[in-house]
Every structure is written in C-alpha cells, then in structure tokens.
Amino acid sequence: MISQELGKQYRSPTTLLRMYASDFIEFLEHLDVYLNAKMRANGSGVFGRNRRYPIGLLGKRVAIHFMHSNSFEEGAADWERRKAWINYENIFLKMSDSYGATPGLIKRYLKLPYPKLLYTSDARINHPDVCYIPKRGEDGRPNWPLYAYKANGIMSFWQFDVVAWLNARGTLTVRDIIQMNKN
C-alpha cells in the first residue's frame, strides 16, 4: 500500500476492499452518484478456504466486497468514514487487468478523466497509462508480487516509480515515468 509506505493517511474509500472490474469502473464513471447512494447488505462471499466476508451494494449494481470486515455494519461504517477522505482535486486511479477486466472494461477505464495507472500482462495494450508486467512461467499469470523496494527504501512497482507519478499530479503519464526510470 502506497499510503502506508509513505507514512500517509489512506485517502481512498476503496482501501481494504475489493470491487470487481465492472463494478469499479461503473463506480468511477458515476462517482458522485455512487458516493451518495445508500449502501445495503447484499449477502456474503468467501475468501481463502473458509473466511466469509460481507458484501454491500451501492445503488442497483455496484457490489463492494468488505474483505476485512466481520459484518456488513462494520464494512458500511468503514465505507461511510472513508468516503469522507476523498479530495476531489487530487484523485488518482490504480487498477490491474484482473478481477474480470475485459478489453471493453479496460477501454472504459483508460477513458476516465483522472490520472490513472493500469497494470497489465497483456503486451498488446498500448496506452500511455499502462504498466506492462510480464507473465511468469507456464501458468501464464502475471509475475506477482508487483512490489519491489528501491535502494532508498521506497516501494516501487516493477520499473514504475509510483511516487514520481503521484508527485507529477497528472502532468506525466505512466509511460513518461517508466521512460524516465530507464534513462
């Protein structure tokens, strides 16, 4: 977690939860609508072998998986508290091509009007906001973990310097930062 590494307070309501790609993109495309929508319980999911967690629903279609909450009430209270942290003048997005991210969803994500980062193992996606992660071995999955530490102790993500990207405040693309790190 970048905020944790930099000793900063989390500023995202999506911290410590999961949204599948379709829900995440729908949420981002209609941010004000979903941040003002009432959260309601929507069953539970299973993490790992037996760890059950609650799922909330915003509006009629954005499911939020409270992976680290013991009850829906706890997850919903955390959501309400965290959404107040958003600084609308300083929004940065980060997503990977997992959790159901189809080519169509990725295209929608890359059109969002915020500085954004997409981690992908699909070398065919050529976009300035993409960080390519090569696949590993025979299973063809991305080469996780993404995290690596630079000599100064700051977390980096492969060849991508997240801190430099954040400090550029949207004036540099992911591709710009990767190129700067290669030089």
**How confident is the model at residue 110, as a pLDDT?**
95
**How confident is the model at residue 147, as a pLDDT?**
46
**How confident is the model at residue 154, as a pLDDT?**
45
Question: Can you tell me the distance from the alpha carbon of 119 to that of 177, in angstroms, rounded to the nearest whole number?
Answer: 14
**How confident is the model at residue 122, as a pLDDT?**
82
User: Rounded to whole angstroms, what are the CA distances from 48 to 42, 45, 51, 52, 67?
Assistant: 20, 10, 6, 9, 10
Q: Is 160 exposed, middle or buried (0-12, 13-18, 19+ CB in 10 A)?
A: buried
The backbone region for 108, taken as left when phi is positive above 0, alpha when psi lies in -120 to 50, beta otherwise, is alpha
> By three-state DSSP, how is residue 84 classified?
coil
Q: In the sheet where 62-65 sits, what is the strand order?
A: 39-47, 51-58, 62-65
Residues of the chain with pLDDT under 50: 143-156
CA 121 vs. chain centroid, Å, equals: 16
User: Rounded to whole angstroms, what are the CA distances from 8 to 63, 84, 115?
Assistant: 27, 16, 19
**How confident is the model at residue 89, as a pLDDT?**
86
One-letter amino acid at 111 equals K
**What is the bridge-based pairing of β-strands 130-132 and 155-157?**
unpaired
Q: What pLDDT, in 10s, does the model give residues 94-105?
A: 888 888 889 999
Block residue for tokens 């390519």: 132
**How confident is the model at residue 109, as a pLDDT?**
95
Full-model pTM: 0.79
**How confident is the model at residue 55, as a pLDDT?**
95
**What is the bridge-based pairing of β-strands 130-132 and 116-120?**
parallel
Q: In the sheet where 93-96 sits, what is the strand order?
A: 93-96, 116-120, 130-132
